[in-house]
Amino acid sequence: MNSKLFLILLLVMGSVKFQAQETSLQEIHLMPWPQEMKTNNSDYSISEDFSVFIHDAQDEDSRITKAAVRFIRNMTDKSGVFVKEGFPNAKGIDGSSASLHIYFDAKAEVVMGIDESYTLSVTGTGIEIHAKTDVGAMHGLSTLLQLIKVKDGAYAFTGVEIKDNPRFVWRGLMMDVARHFLPIDVVKRNLDAMALVKLNVFHWHLSDDQGFRVETKTLPELFKKASDGQYYTQDQIKDIVAYADDRGIRVVPEFDVPGHGTAFLTAFPELGSKKGMEYSLERYAGIFDPTLDPTNEKTYEFLDKLFKEVTPLFTDVYFHIGGDENEGKHWDENPEIQQFMKEHKLKDNHELQTYFNIRLEKILAKYGKSLMGWEEIMTPNMPKSALIHSWRGVNEGMEPGESLIKAVKNGYQTILSNGYYIDLLLSVDDHYLVDPMPDVALTEAEAKRILGGEATMWSELVTPLTVDSRIWPRTAAIAERFWSSIEVRNLDHMHERLNTISQFLELIGIQHVKSQEYLLRNIANYQDTHGLRQLTTISEPFKIYSRNAGGTQYKTYSPFTLFADACAADAKSVRNFRKLVDAYIDQSDASAKEELTTYFKTWEGIAEQLKTIAPHAPLVSRVIPYAERVGEIAAMGAKALENDRISEEELRQLKNLVAKKEDPAVNLDVELAVAKDIIRLAEYLVEK
Amino acid sequence: MNSKLFLILLLVMGSVKFQAQETSLQEIHLMPWPQEMKTNNSDYSISEDFSVFIHDAQDEDSRITKAAVRFIRNMTDKSGVFVKEGFPNAKGIDGSSASLHIYFDAKAEVVMGIDESYTLSVTGTGIEIHAKTDVGAMHGLSTLLQLIKVKDGAYAFTGVEIKDNPRFVWRGLMMDVARHFLPIDVVKRNLDAMALVKLNVFHWHLSDDQGFRVETKTLPELFKKASDGQYYTQDQIKDIVAYADDRGIRVVPEFDVPGHGTAFLTAFPELGSKKGMEYSLERYAGIFDPTLDPTNEKTYEFLDKLFKEVTPLFTDVYFHIGGDENEGKHWDENPEIQQFMKEHKLKDNHELQTYFNIRLEKILAKYGKSLMGWEEIMTPNMPKSALIHSWRGVNEGMEPGESLIKAVKNGYQTILSNGYYIDLLLSVDDHYLVDPMPDVALTEAEAKRILGGEATMWSELVTPLTVDSRIWPRTAAIAERFWSSIEVRNLDHMHERLNTISQFLELIGIQHVKSQEYLLRNIANYQDTHGLRQLTTISEPFKIYSRNAGGTQYKTYSPFTLFADACAADAKSVRNFRKLVDAYIDQSDASAKEELTTYFKTWEGIAEQLKTIAPHAPLVSRVIPYAERVGEIAAMGAKALENDRISEEELRQLKNLVAKKEDPAVNLDVELAVAKDIIRLAEYLVEK
């Protein structure tokens, strides 16, 4: 069975199964979806008497106590309820009188594979969370928060019985802080968001061609010469690791070697594979040549010194050495390296890199760390203890997940990121339907080696201002893929729930909505933003790296406050428009026709509104040619609908209009996300 | 001359002088307003070739280099211009080719009284900043950023010649992080904002009845037992001090003693003035009895230990010991303290507190610190080296600034906060017209002792989410009062400029606008917010502590996500409405009548819109009774305008409606800010 067919089959199975459940479950907007859930029609009202009791609570500094305090604050912020007691286990609250009881057996050490299961019972008379570990109990709190709803004009928790546990042990989000530095507060609010959707691995990409982001006391040149002053102090790193640990999240650091090495070599050019080269921090995006010299003993002395200093900052056993995208150009060009390869019988660059990786693995072992790396590290001699991070796919000329299958068959543990590259700016649907478990026959042992997956937030085109809208809410759906049953894959229900989780993400501090509003104000230079806002509902930033083609359109210090930055991967009106087109084509639905016409009329007016503000908003001027094109397309659409037909010639014109691109010099970099459906509608009308 | 008359005279003088200037100056929206400025009609266009050269630049870590990088980022974020060079003194940029040249004589040590002057010249061919110190040069950059405007459809810097320096050396903002903790990122973005408006003292109120916010290694009980886990590590404090220093801002810490001492006594009850009392962190707001025992030697041992540890964290010489609002109840009740007073011939609590303060002054002197405190520390025997922080006024039954005059006449240096209590939520006008220099005859020496002033952000009713909107933009106008000439006091021009600085504040990271939008979304439970938004344009939170009357309506953990939190001190439509009423009354202006009618009609419709969303938004239900009352008032206003008259009876009804208060139980806590002008309009119409 090919994988596409398999997916379709699963989809059908998923939705059939879904419809067989009680309809009231449909109204529950949890994400990720729990393994087992029953409604009991017995909601718990949120009142001023709400209180929390943690059974066998440890001191106030305990992880669960802090989580419970955050829970209460979130609940009161959302509901506006003035609780009498703002802390768990307050005086007078005991094992009998509390609203919410939390039970767990033991405080977990946050390592891979701990018990994260919990049960949650909400009834009109009380709420109970039971778990083996405090981390499981915290997952119960994340679920409970999302159960807040309005009932009879007041806030309440939906009455449910939930039994829940994760499908995969490794549920990660990678944040690249090298291309664009992301300050501590940005990292922290994203850790809060991860906890909300039960992600448990924060993969921290700390070095790349554009910067090295860690204070290093034994090698101060690294952050002093290669960070533009944008780095984390060691105290800040410890603070983040503790903050993550408090949320049940492991932190896996990545120091990318031997390629992606410009930052290293800006500080230590003598370790480079090209002698005499003057290295300086990269300002563009792409794959670059600077590479550590694996034949130079000083390289290993340097990495030993670095790893000795940085490994104790991180408590997790895994340590990511990158290892990706080394094209070996400087190796090929360097006669001494070629000589070394001959002497050591290393027949190609892969073998040389394996030589390098194996030496790194020994260094890391000395400091108690297990090596992981991007899939390129998987060469024949690589020890089986290495964890393989599968990432390449169609864009790299490979089958999606090809390396994942190869890894498990060769005895490696592995995680999947291909399919979860959120920087591609694809629709959430594209990520949601990718499963870490491939559609091939695997032995039980092989399947067990697939630990889970990671969404990857590469930051070539994101800044602290936009990163939240690039990660969220889409990553919540990926988190569901890692946590929930493979059968949970109904797109409509996912979208409804994604909309709700987006609101809870804002509640706990994610700035995706706020920042978009701000960007529109900035673009409009504080004039009326409604035309721009309408345009964002049908426009999406260029996908799959076609924004910043060649990596040289934007530099690291270019402005990311443009219209494309205010647009998101799933423009708001696209799905609804598509459904209206479906309804119109399939059922000649009259109300669909009316709504479609309203859409077209609205879009026709955007350019005019923008023109009224453009004289005082230079950034709006850049948007107008696009808005005018959208207006023309909409006018043709409206006319076609009105006449109930469109001529072949008009269709051709429409297709030309849709295919037209704006002047790349204005960096507009957005596409009309409803274009496909407009064409579909027109093609239907031409045949009519 | 009484002070009111003096103010009016100044106002008239100010505006006369103002109108005598070139009108083009009116269009420049700088805040604070420079001492000398001429326009030259020669603007500098912002293009991709924009570059910065710092003459005699130090290393990349230098304060001015970092400030220049921030400047470039802000400029490109605002303008969307893709500069070729993102860093000052980049390769190929030199003393002749750069757009912006920065010259200064020496790196300043950030202490009180340094030279902060600068000159700024912008012409079509280039920009120059000259200063004695790098801090002065940074002020030049803050001014330059605000000169960004739109010209011929593109962004440019307005051509000007500026010569500028501050009027007062002490231009402060106090942030209370004890009542509600404000995390590092909140403090940092507010330091950025301070730098934008040239404030130079961050007064950090670190302890109070509700919490002690500093990690203390020698006295770990303090932060462990008395912070609810919300405190700054010492590394974070050093980070903030360095961050402030980078922006030319001094940091003055405050540890409030002997009153406001509940947090101290929660950790160390044995130091309290009431023996056997069980202290615990205060959750309410107000003035409380827990007070350190000044007759106990252990109190001084404790404070010596604390100050020994914390004083090195702060580089500034000033150290604020609070000293305010000690009512001495526990002193009166404690026979041992009474006995001690007799033995030491201390005839009242004031003398006992002086005894305490003098001992503190000696301890602080040992650690190289000068004592400052709230005005209550100014008792006859207090050494003249103490700096007096004048704060009491009408609310405390005193003449505004009374203690300021007394202080300088008694030989103390002093700063003024009375008049700058931004937590009173008064209009910016009320603060703007208060001058630190009192309206009494002072000798030159006395006047010189008035160092400046501080806006005070007490945090009983603010959280990280709302604090920005409570501080900004009003504090920008206070910053102008501290920096600019006393003659700059035209309210209309200030309001225009305040609107512009508000946009720049958002550019550099202040969240006042974003958070309001979010709060409305939360209140509306993500339904249509337009009715709520309209209501915020005419509603202001209760002023002068009438919100939270008695200090027990809100606890520290109560929700501050309510409608009152989404409203600000200067509701948007109030000034415009007032001017329309003026125009209508003074000139029977027909267009004013029309606009007033439009306002009324809009307000009439708010309650209906709110009712459509209330079923799914419990927090909206709380607002409806108020919105209905506003609607009734507006309907009466519309009717009166339409009929061109109102009866005595209707006026009486209108006044009753305006005077009516909402049920305090719903914590609405806002007032109709246009009420006064509606009554004024009605009174005019009844006489007609």
Interchain contact, B522 vs A507, CB within 8 Å: yes
Q: Classify each residue of A369-383 as buried b or exposed e, where b means 16 or more C-beta atoms within 10 Å of its C-beta.
A: bbbbbbbbbbbeebe
Tell me how close the Cα of A245 comes to any Cα of chain B, in angstroms: 16
Tell me how close the Cα of A447 comes to any Cα of chain B, in angstroms: 42
For chain A, what percent of residues have pLDDT higher than 70?
96
Residue of A nearest to B522 (CA): A78
Q: CA-CA distances (angstroms) from residue B431 to B6, B10, B427, B453?
A: 16, 15, 7, 12
Query: Does B229 reach chain A within 8 Å, measured CB to CB?
Result: yes
Nearest to B555 among A86, A525, A555 (CB): A86
Q: What is the mean pLDDT of residues A252-278?
A: 96
- Least-confidence region, from A35-39, A226-230, B588-592: B588-592
Give contacts of A233 with chain B, Cβ < 8 Å: 235, 239
Report pLDDT for B154: 97
| Interface test mutation site (partner A, options B522, B565, B612, B668, max chain A beta carbons within 10 A) | B522
Report pLDDT for B3: 46
Band of pLDDT at residue A2, cut at 50, 70 and 90:
very low
Structure tokens at A246: 């408090």
Give contacts of B621 with chain A, Cβ < 8 Å: 153
* Biggest distance spanned by C-alpha atoms of chain A: 80
Residues ≥6 apart with Cβ < 8 Å to B682: B636, B637, B640, B646, B650, B651, B654
Query: Is residue B486 within 8 Å of B437, Cβ to Cβ?
Result: yes
Report pLDDT for B664: 86
Residue A17: pLDDT above 70?
A: no
Report pLDDT for A16: 40
Band of pLDDT at residue B22, cut at 50, 70 and 90:
very low
For B419-434, write each residue's pLDDT tens digit: 999 999 999 999 999 9
Residue bearing tokens 């950034």: A619
Structure tokens at A206: 């700390």
H helix or E strand, kind and range, residue A418: none
Helix (H/G/I), strand (E/B), else coil: A688 = coil
d(CA A679, CA B644): 58
Structure tokens at A92: 């007078």
Query: Does A10 reach chain B within 8 Å, measured CB to CB?
Result: no
Task: Assess whether A325 carries a catalytic annotation.
Answer: yes
Residues ≥6 apart with Cβ < 8 Å to A343: none
d(CA A214, CA A37): 44
H helix or E strand, kind and range, residue A446: helix A444-448
Report pLDDT for A687: 75
Query: Does A27 reach chain B within 8 Å, measured CB to CB?
Result: no
Query: Does B664 reach chain A within 8 Å, measured CB to CB?
Result: no
Helix (H/G/I), strand (E/B), else coil: A387 = strand
Sheet holding B36-39, edge to edge: B36-39, B160-164, B118-123, B126-133, B100-106, B52-54
Report pLDDT for A6: 42
Residue bearing tokens 């960096």: A667
Give contacts of B153 with chain A, Cβ < 8 Å: 614-615, 618, 621
Other residues' Cβ atoms within 10 Å of the Cβ of residue B492: 12
Residues ≥6 apart with Cβ < 8 Å to B191: B202, B240, B243, B244, B247, B249
Q: What is the mean pLDDT of residues B285-299?
A: 96
Residue of A nearest to B516 (CA): A514
Residue of B nearest to A152 (CA): B615
Report pLDDT for A58: 65
Task: Assess whether B260 carries a catalytic annotation.
Answer: yes
For A530-587, write each residue's pLDDT tens digit: 999 999 999 999 999 999 988 999 999 999 999 999 999 999 999 999 999 999 999 9
Structure tokens at A215: 């204070």
Give contacts of A83 with chain B, Cβ < 8 Å: 557
Residue bearing tokens 């090698």: A219
Report pLDDT for A56: 79
Band of pLDDT at residue B13, cut at 50, 70 and 90:
very low
Tell me how close the Cα of B178 comes to any Cα of chain A, in angstroms: 17
Query: Does A226 reach chain B within 8 Å, measured CB to CB?
Result: no
For B49-98, write each residue's pLDDT tens digit: 999 999 976 677 799 999 999 999 999 999 999 999 999 999 888 878 89
For B374-407, write each residue's pLDDT tens digit: 999 998 889 999 999 999 998 888 988 899 999 9
Task: Assess whether A429 carries a catalytic annotation.
Answer: no
Interchain contact, B503 vs A514, CB within 8 Å: no
Other residues' Cβ atoms within 10 Å of the Cβ of residue B39: 18
Interchain contact, A60 vs B229, CB within 8 Å: yes
**Gyration radius (Cα) of chain A, Å:** 27
Residue bearing tokens 């009680």: A22
Q: What is the mean pLDDT of residues B500-524?
A: 98
Report pLDDT for B57: 65
Residue B221: pLDDT above 90?
A: yes
d(CA B431, CA B429): 5
Band of pLDDT at residue A97, cut at 50, 70 and 90:
confident
What is the distance between the terminal CA atoms of chain A, rounded to a whole angstrom?
Answer: 37
Residue A21: pLDDT above 60?
A: no
Report pLDDT for A327: 86
Residue B7: pLDDT above 80?
A: no
Mean pLDDT value across chain A: 94
Query: Does A90 reach chain B within 8 Å, measured CB to CB?
Result: no
Query: Does B518 reach chain A within 8 Å, measured CB to CB?
Result: yes
For B594-623, write each residue's pLDDT tens digit: 999 999 999 999 999 999 999 999 999 999
Helix (H/G/I), strand (E/B), else coil: B106 = strand
Interchain contact, A80 vs B233, CB within 8 Å: no
- Least-confidence region, from A181-195, A541-555, B514-528: A541-555
Catalytic residue among B116, B164, B208, B423: B208
